[in-house]
Structure 1
């Protein structure tokens, strides 16, 4: 049974899995009075390292076969975002990190002072034409944590897309903190009840159904039966699909790969699991956790390991925390001066590892995993510890 402490550290983490509220701002030293307001601090994301320029497009999906489990009077609605290699990007604007109508909700809920921060832009161009490659691109689905949203996975998502993948990021409506739909409608977190095994099981069932519905719609899109502002027909190689998620999204990847054989490989970024919904399969699975790893309060990874009979590896990122596997790893240090965060509070939130090294390691090992199992390209990074990434420990 998952303990409350393990859920707090891995699967849920409250608002820390969703935004800057992981640091209680009220403990920061008060700012000195100023005669004039300081200019807002512009946040940035590290650029992806792959050779491909990026495009992105949001996609509104409605599953009319399902009543929404969290809001039963409505059909199940999702927002997903596709990220992909693109060409002719110069005449397409750069996409924002967070959808515009969601920004005021984000700032208000996270206690960010008005005008203190300018949220970053991405490195992707809105609705730029798709570069399909020779025979379609391999696909990776991304699922965020509970009370999180797809924006917080952008650093890893852009890296995979720049390396030739189509990445499909899913917002799981109502267990996400914020989801903006067409017309500026914003739906917020609406999961009622105690965070226990029963609620997590329900959330995993909802998310697994979401994932399978997205796979169905992606199949129709790739066949030309669905329309977007960009043409995606033939852009995806649907024989090569993987999934990665952070926190509860990592458990979602494990549950979805068990439920749907279209998923060929999966990765869990520091998320508690919930056997038997997340028991192992014959397909490859990567466990990549924070330091010091699952620990005695979270036996779920041990249970998964015992049932996983396909390829498997467990890694730990030394000096990291749960939210190191989100964009907050790079955004919080930038925001610290504007928010009055002390070095100790920052270390408590994101760990002691240098953020650039943390992001570089995550990108390298996630790419190596999907290259190996979706492309047949072996970088040998997953064979043994690397002197180039000593911060990554091989646990088994």
Structure 2
């Protein structure tokens, strides 16, 4: 059995404590999760009926219910051990200790709600969209977040499932489409959209700038500097707080315009120096 000896007096950095920015809407937020089984569809990777985990995020009455975890234990462990690509080594950050700003099973405020579905990026948990999802719920929307089993980490009531083996991109997209009852790839969708459309471009952002990981990496980096090229390759050079504020602003304006009929000039010309609009 191997043992790791740490000389006396050697300082060992404590795991970075992580926090998510508060939602900016008027309503407190409640959340609950559901385990769904699609008995009419066989999962191509398990050969069993397709299982999904989803969460509902909604405007709620003030409550003393427990605050929801950001990541379930198995999902937190997944990120702890699989964030090496962005310079994070196991134990560097307390992924399991992070909390949301939403109360578990808090009583919902009655009323009809517009429903928005959030589908995470490839290999990511639905929880990595919490910063944007909570903000939408605090503004009066009902948001459904969905995990796509075997294409990202998922914590079920009885087990944890990581990334599946032999998961090819074509099959992934077909299954994700059926999971959300929506299908298209981006280029075809954009080329054939004849109605209103805008491409909001942040030139100094990168792929992971559009998930909670941008906020978490910035906090980890403050305690233990990460390799600069690795960090900027993941989240760009835009300030993460500015990135989140801009995304929240444009996403809220988009849904307010198309779902609530609230007119805006935000998409007519850029009002933030970090943003370019492509019509």
Query: Would the TM-score normalized by the shorter structure come out above 0.5?
Result: yes
Do the aligned partners of 2:67 and 2:100 also contact (CA within 8 Å) in 1? yes
Does structure 1 residue 158 correspond to structure 2 residue 134?
A: yes
Does structure 1 residue 108 correspond to structure 2 residue 81?
A: yes
Please state whether the residue corresponding to 2:230 is helix, strand or coil. Answer: helix
Summarize the Cα distance change of 1:200–1:35 in structure 2 as closer, same or farther, 3 Å threshold.
closer
If the length of structure 1 is used for normalisation, what is the TM-score? 0.64
Q: 2:198 & 2:67 partners in 1: Cα distance? A: 36
Q: 1:122 & 1:34 partners in 2: Cα distance? A: 36
Higher relative contact order (CA 8 A, sep 6+): 2
Q: Which ranges of structure 1 fall in alignment gaps of 5 or more residues?
A: 1-31, 194-198, 213-255, 259-276, 279-299
Candidates 13, 25, 28, aligned match of 1:53: 28
Residue equivalent to 1:334? 219
How far apart are 1:340 and its partner, in Å? 3.8
Please state whether the residue corresponding to 2:136 is helix, strand or coil. Answer: helix
Q: How does 1:202-241 map to 2 (within 5 A)?
A: 202-212=171-181
Q: How does 1:1-396 map to 2 (within 5 A)?
A: 35-72=10-47, 74-89=48-63, 91-111=64-84, 113=89, 115-119=91-95, 120-133=98-111, 136-176=112-152, 178-183=153-158, 185-192=159-166, 199-212=168-181, 256=182, 277-278=184-185, 301=187, 303-386=188-271, 389-396=272-279
Summarize the Cα distance change of 1:157–1:146 in structure 2 as closer, same or farther, 3 Å threshold.
same
Q: 2:230 & 2:78 partners in 1: Cα distance? A: 24
Please state whether the residue corresponding to 2:145 is helix, strand or coil. Answer: strand
Please state whether the residue corresponding to 2:252 is helix, strand or coil. Answer: helix
How far apart are 1:69 and its partner, in Å? 1.6
Q: 2:270 & 2:75 partners in 1: Cα distance? A: 41
Please state whether the residue corresponding to 1:42 is helix, strand or coil. Answer: coil
If the length of structure 2 is used for normalisation, what is the TM-score? 0.89
Matched residue count: 268
Q: 1:34 & 1:146 partners in 2: Cα distance? A: 43
Do the aligned partners of 1:117 and 1:338 also contact (CA within 8 Å) in 2? no
Q: Deviations over 1:89-125 (max 9, x none)?
A: 2x20110100123322332233555543223210101
Do the aligned partners of 2:83 and 2:89 also contact (CA within 8 Å) in 1? no
Residue equivalent to 2:3? none
Do the aligned partners of 1:51 and 1:163 also contact (CA within 8 Å) in 2? yes
Q: 1:314 & 1:115 partners in 2: Cα distance? A: 38
Q: 2:235 & 2:90 partners in 1: Cα distance? A: 24
How far apart are 1:325 and its partner, in Å? 0.5
Q: 2:233 & 2:55 partners in 1: Cα distance? A: 31
Q: Deviations over 1:121-172 (max 9, x none)?
A: 1010111011133xx1111000011111111111111111111101000000
Q: Which ranges of structure 2 fall in alignment gaps of 5 or more residues?
A: 1-6
Q: Which runs of 4+ in 1 moved over 4 A?
A: 111-115
Q: 1:71 & 1:339 partners in 2: Cα distance? A: 40
